């Protein structure tokens, strides 16, 4: 029974991991941008939800309303990154990494100066409550994370597969030159894609503060987890991101409920190593 509980809790936790990683799957997986500041944007999204939550707005609604602002922010960040780094030459990767590290610190310090260092939480009817399914009790906030992650994955998968701009984003990951020959501007496509990746941070950030308290430096703790999910998924795969998140979540949850709880993180990352050894392109990578 305990194992069933742990697996169900793990699936819910894994969906949360997928929600916070899906933007990185686009930015890093599809667009090849070393977006190490992704978790910092998640925290920014969480604070946005907190700020609107203080005015009485539901955090999930706040996250949804913030997505257009984050979309524009993402487009602006990519444009700067492109002009300052990507357009200038072959070592853009390493310098870009430094740029995004710097950006993450700027976001963190800006949050510290604005909100202080205390941990912040939000209130909502589904926080602190649970739902009973038979003999299993499930935290409602985790069910919300589950729902949002599944919805986000479906919407992004459909968008990337069936819309012109979505397919262009996928195409730019495969062959920039070919895309340019078709008459599309790869830079504008990447800028659009990065905007979408950043927009997911608003919603996923809202989930982050629904799940637990946030503080300005929290993003650092998510760097490992989000990159782990994105790489395990097979770079750029939306269903893969959901599957990878669930695998990590279930592994962590089962180990936490067993006798060797201390090994939870190690087991999760061990799975990544094993999968990469067997399938270097990741679970859903080609």
Q: Which lies closer to another protein via its Cβ, residue 2 or residue 278?
A: 2
Please report, as residue ranges, which positions from 4 to 63 form the binding site for another protein (by CB under 8 A).
5-6, 9-10, 12-13, 16
If one asks whether residue 121 binds another protein (CB under 8 A), the answer comes out as: yes
**Gap between the Cα atoms of 259 and 171, Å rounded:** 47
The residue (of 137 and 279) whose beta carbon lies closer to another protein is 137
Distance CA(106)–CA(154), nearest Å, equals 33
Q: Which of 68, 102, 128, 270 binds another protein (CB under 8 A)?
A: 128
**Among residues 72, 87, 102, 119, which is the contact residue for another protein, using CB under 8 A?**
119
Scanning 96-104, 133-141, 157-165, 174-182 for contacts with another protein by CB under 8 A, the matching segment is 133-141
Which one of 24-32, 79-87, 94-102, 209-217 is the stretch in contact with another protein (CB under 8 A)? 209-217
- Sole window of 55-63, 112-120, 233-241, 275-283 interacting with another protein (rule: CB under 8 A): 112-120
Distance CA 143, CA 126 (A): 9
Closest CB to another protein among residues 177, 262: 262
Give the residue, chosen from 84, 116, 133, 185, that forms a contact with another protein under the rule CB under 8 A.
116
Any residues with CB less than 8 A from the CB of 174 and at least 6 apart, and which?
Answer: none
Stretch that binds another protein, among 56-64, 107-115, 153-161, 195-203 (CB under 8 A): 107-115
Question: Which residues lie near another protein (CB under 8 A)?
Answer: 1-2, 5-6, 9-10, 12-13, 16, 108, 112, 115-121, 123, 127-130, 137, 139-142, 211-213, 215-218, 221, 252-254, 256-259, 261-266
């Amino acid at each position: 029974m305990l194992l069933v509980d742990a697996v169900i809790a793990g699936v819910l936790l894994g969906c949360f991991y997928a929600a916070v990683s899906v933007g990185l799957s686009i930015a890093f997986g599809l667009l090849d941008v070393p977006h190490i500041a992704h978790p910092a944007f998640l925290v920014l999204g969480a604070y946005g939800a907190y700020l609107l939550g203080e005015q009485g707005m539901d955090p999930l609604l706040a996250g949804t309303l913030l997505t257009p602002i984050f979309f524009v922010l993402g487009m602006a960040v990519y444009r700067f990154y492109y002009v300052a780094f990507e357009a200038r030459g072959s070592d853009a990767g390493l310098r870009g990494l430094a740029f995004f590290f710097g950006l993450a610190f700027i976001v963190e310090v800006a949050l510290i100066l604005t909100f202080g260092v205390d941990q912040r939480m939000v209130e909502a009817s589904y926080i602190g409550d649970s739902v009973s399914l038979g003999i299993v009790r499930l935290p409602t906030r985790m069910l919300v994370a589950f729902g949002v992650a599944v919805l986000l994955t479906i919407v992004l998968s459909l968008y990337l597969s069936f819309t012109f701009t979505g397919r262009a984003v996928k195409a730019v990951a495969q062959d920039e030159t070919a895309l340019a020959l078709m008459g599309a501007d790869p830079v504008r496509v990447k800028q659009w894609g990065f905007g979408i990746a950043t927009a997911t941070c608003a919603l996923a950030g809202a989930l982050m503060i629904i799940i637990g308290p946030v503080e300005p430096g929290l993003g650092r703790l998510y760097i490992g987890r989000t990159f782990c999910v994105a790489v395990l998924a097979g770079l750029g795969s939306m269903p893969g991101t959901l599957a990878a998140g669930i695998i990590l979540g279930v592994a962590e949850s089962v180990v936490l409920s067993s006798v060797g709880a201390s090994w939870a993180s190690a087991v999760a990352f061990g799975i990544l190593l094993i999968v990469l050894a067997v399938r270097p392109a990741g679970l859903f990578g080609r």
